[in-house]
Amino acid sequence: MTSVNEKHPVPSPIDDPTLGLGSAEPGGFPQVDSWTLPAAPEDDPYGDMVANLRSFLDHVAAAKPDNATVAELAGDLAAWRARLAPMSVSEREQVFAHRTDLPGRGQTMSPNFAIEGGDRDGVWGTVTYGRYYLGGNGAVHGGAIPLLFDEVLGRLANSAGRSPCRTAYLHTDFRAITPVGRQLSVRGWFVSEEGRKRVVRAELKDGDTLCAEAEGLFVALNPGQP
């Protein structure tokens, strides 16, 4: 199946052979042993590319471009897709979302969480939702907030030498509008750790205003569980 666009037909991810995950062998997730991030290397083209990709998406969301601009952009994107397709690697080898030293782990799907510090029991930092995450009337889309919490709490629950775990539930309460385009503070902390069950909570604040809070249960994986 391809898109209806005849100029630059886009294969569906199901049909695109260059988008396979490769071997099902586990271990594609990097472990988090420390919250102290190394200083960003002076020359980091990947980090630079991801930062530009995030900003690009914000501008796509904000702009009302004329047709000529849109057509040129579609062509440019098609050319980049064609250039990257032969470079596709397995999940284990991919860089996207595996750069734990970069804000947002060097990916653009979830919000740009920048870690300020953390220890065995908690983690804290900031996030700024760009225009890309706008839901309506200046507020962040309701789905993008649990996305942040899963990222923050998933990272915490998997940190400090703990065995890999997955989110079993993630309960989010939206307490006030979460504004787009402001630096917000984020904090996650452990509530309990019993057997395989790790209960963690997080909050998202705009200054003193509590925007949203969450509780998650993360369950440690048994050997062989994907």
Stretch that binds ligand 3IX, among 61-69, 82-90, 175-183, 216-224 (CB under 6 A): 216-224
d(CA 123, CA 204): 12
d(CA 100, CA 158): 12
- Residue indicated by tokens 């695109």: 16
Of 13, 22, 30, 41, the one binding ligand 3IX (CB under 6 A) is 30
Q: Check: CB of residue 172 under 8 Å from CB of residue 149.
A: yes
Q: Is 123 in the site for ligand 3IX (CB under 6 A)?
A: no
Q: Is 213 in the site for ligand 3IX (CB under 6 A)?
A: no
Helix, strand or coil for residue 190? strand
d(CA 104, CA 139): 20
Q: Is 29 in the site for ligand 3IX (CB under 6 A)?
A: yes
Note the helical H segments in the chain.
Answer: 45-62, 67-84, 144-157
Of 77, 196, 209, 210, the one binding ligand 3IX (CB under 6 A) is 196
Instruction: Report the site for ligand 3IX in 92-111 (rule: CB under 6 A).
Output: 100, 105
The minimum distance between CB 69 and ligand 3IX, in angstroms, equals: 36
Residues at the interface with ligand 3IX (CB under 6 A): 26, 29-32, 100, 105, 150-151, 154-155, 158, 164, 166-169, 196-197, 217, 219, 221-222, 225
